[in-house]
Every structure is written in C-alpha cells, then in structure tokens.
Amino acid sequence: QVQLVESGGGLVQAGGSLRLSCAASGRIFSIYLMGWYRQAPGKQRELVATITKSAHTNYADPVKGRFTISRDNANNTLYLQMNSLKPEDTAVYYCKAEVVTSQYLEVWGQGTLVTVSS
C-alpha cells in the first residue's frame, strides 16, 4: 500500500552536485525516521544519512560536510543534496522510511544510480 519512488540520480564529474528526491505515496498515517543508504556493486549497503520527523539529522563520516538530508513532511518527500561529489560516492542510492499505516512498516525505494566520474 506504501511506495517510495526515488529520482535524481545520474552521471556527474568529480566535484559536481546532484539532488536526489524520494516521494512516499499510499495510505500513510505518519512517517517517522527516513534515511538514505547506498550500495556499490559487490559491496555492502551502507548508511548515508538519516532524518527524524522533527528534522534531527545524522550523517556518515564520508559524507559529512558535503551532503545534506532534508524532508518535506507536508508532501511526504525526502531529499539528499550531494555536493563535492567524489568517485567513491558512486553507488545505487536507496530511500528508506519508517511508515505507519494501519501498522508499522519499513519501506525501501527501488534505488537510483549515482555515477561520479574522475
């Protein structure tokens, strides 16, 4: 009943920027914690950043000072502004949300590919 749709990935040169979006839809009573994760082929999925309903944020060390996570609660949308991109940022980026409908759910998006060239 709940779906997360990600967009905004693409190919950029090192030092460039991208803005990812994640739109939640469906029968949603509330969305609590949201976050971005990333996974390169053959590697483990790793945390990028999280944001609470009240907008408290946490970032993984590799992206601190370069990425900014934000959310629009009125539109159930999550964002990730990525600046000063590095080749090691190349990965599929996934949106995750803790959602309450008639029950508690953890929902993942389909992922969007970010490729940073050197």
Q: What is the pLDDT of residues 12-66, one digit of tens each?
A: 999 999 999 999 999 999 999 999 999 998 999 999 999 999 999 999 999 999 9
Average pLDDT of the chain, as a whole number:
97
Bridge-partner residues for 22, per DSSP?
6, 78
CA distance 110 to 52: 21
End-to-end CA distance of the chain: 41
CA distance 48 to 80: 10
- Report residue 52 as tokens: 């609470």
Asked if residue 118 has pLDDT above 90, the reply is yes
List all residues 6 or more positions away from 96 whose beta carbon is below 8 Å from its beta carbon. Answer: 4, 34, 35, 36, 37, 106, 107, 108, 109
- pLDDT of the residue at 86: 98
- pLDDT of the residue at 1: 83
